[in-house]
Structure 1
Amino acid sequence: MKTFLYFALGLMMSSASLAQEIDNLITPYRPKIAEFSMETLREYDTSTSSESFGSADNEVERDRLIKAKIGIPFLIKENWMFGIQLKYYQHQFTLDLEDQPTDYDLYLHLNAKKFTSTGIRTFYQRDIKDNQQLRLIGGAELKSDQIKWNANTTKYFISSTYTWQRSSRTQIGTGFVLNQVMGRTVFYPLFIYEKQLTPRWTLDLTLPKSAAIRYRANERNFITASADIRGWRYNLTNALEDSQRDLTLRKVDLQFSLSWEHELHDWLWFGLDIGYTKNLQYHLANPGDSSKDALIDIRSKDATYTKFSVFIVPPRKFYR
């Protein structure tokens, strides 16, 4: 069972960095092995502009994202491990078409469809030397309003990180992310820095994606303040009457949040996040095109954010 714990710790490094154990009497922040969550943005205005398709305004009454994911180990050896993570996300928009009726194709399509992001990622971790680790993550996802697999609806990705322990309280690392997503190649480097500031406070940086400071109130409660760059892409099928083909809807936000994680029963936890989201980029384009070649530019007002989650972590006894 201890090897399963090591696998879980490594697998979830793709989405969250780990706090360091101060001594044998303190249980560190435990990563999520499986999670179910619901995220909601409420009541924000949007406006569109396009030379070809015109302009329109509307209000998004609810922007809801439901997530489910689970990690599964397959091969675990003394100094390396291999496993997979399965995910399923469903994204739905509800627009104010009663008070603001519209015949704008994009708004009608967003209101009528559910968008799915589902896929698999593989995980490999090897201990290179004492206090040094190499991690490789790769996978494929379908991101679309219809279940169809082609170059316009899929994402393939690989990520690698190399981390080392500089001291008992400090871990640093570097790496990269390479995505082939809906006809577009995206590459960026990663810098990882984790510092145990005090027995209760930890600083976690995964730049340029996220920055967080975590407070351990006690072994059953953690509070985290964070800033994250978050985004998504979906394929839209025949969304515009005058453009019956696959198109890519792309959104990037800067999200500030405050989260509380509370232990319900050792390995079972509950999470509540509240925050504020500022839109950085939003557009509809042909697959592979960037924002400067967008068919429709979209402006989205700032919005408040909430998230409720239930998740599973490794039991506390494995840390004793």
Structure 2
Amino acid sequence: MAAGCVHLSGSLCSQFLASVDALLFDCDGVLWKGESAIPGAVQLINRLQERGKRVFFLTNNSTKSRQMYGEKLRGLGFQAGPEQVFGTAPCAALYLRHESELRGSVYLIGGAALRGELQAQGIACSGSGPGPELTPGPGPTQVWAAEPLDPAVGAVLVGFDEHFTYLKLCRAARYLRNPACIFLATNTDTLLPLEGGGIPGTGCLVKAVEAAANRTAHVIGKPSVYMFECLVKEHSIDPSRTVMVGDRLDTDILMGSNCGLRTILTLTGVSSLEEAKAHQESDSSDRHKLVPSYYVDSVADLLPTLD
């Protein structure tokens, strides 16, 4: 049985927080649900910072820029700014600018925030938005297959796109036939958790493009380590004194494991304690990476330690 999955409370919680300098929080399902903060989350984040802890926010949501996340945090009462936010939109733009050999522009399946982050890095892009209306007629697939492509496109980036269409899928797949074309995805979350239930997430779009192009995307978001690498580069935190707090085993906890961090699962979001314990009892070393170091019912459970 893998170690971990310990209930964090009482004196253990006090000892643990004393060993931590930086805390990385997922947002949806951890600090808020929809437009409502989880009870006690605002007080926790603000008190942690008052006690000298460094707090950062890591999100796979590509529909908001750093500035937009900063505004949402402040609007809910969190004492936080955009420089503390690391999301897939700005990090995808940073990757394309500094880590890839991008030549040309980007064909983007994604929204305005993602487009804005690319443009902020001086990267030209096309494809975002609803696109032109399709004219009904005989043989439309032949027209789509023969549509001229932009020779300047050197990468395809897939994020959450409420205007995703079959035509966009065709274009992306045709660009990706060129093996030199970079294939990037913001994240592979298949569920977008919302109040009242979830809807298909970015991962569903990514899988469609992967299947159509017969290629695998390079993923920026959790559980990839790239967002954490961006954070370390910008803020010089010590991984040995850092903890990742999240509600999903397959993204937040796995990223923490991949980065050598201690992890806390909060039970206010997607994953359950039963799922974590099933991974813990497995004989698979890969599944053991999904086991959190600790768990709490809610992040608010950490508050009494800070009184």
TM-score, structure 1 normalization: 0.23
Which structure features the higher share of strand residues? Answer: 1
Which structure features the higher share of helix residues? Answer: 2
Relative contact order higher in (CA < 8 Å, ≥ 6 apart): 2
TM-score, structure 2 normalization: 0.24
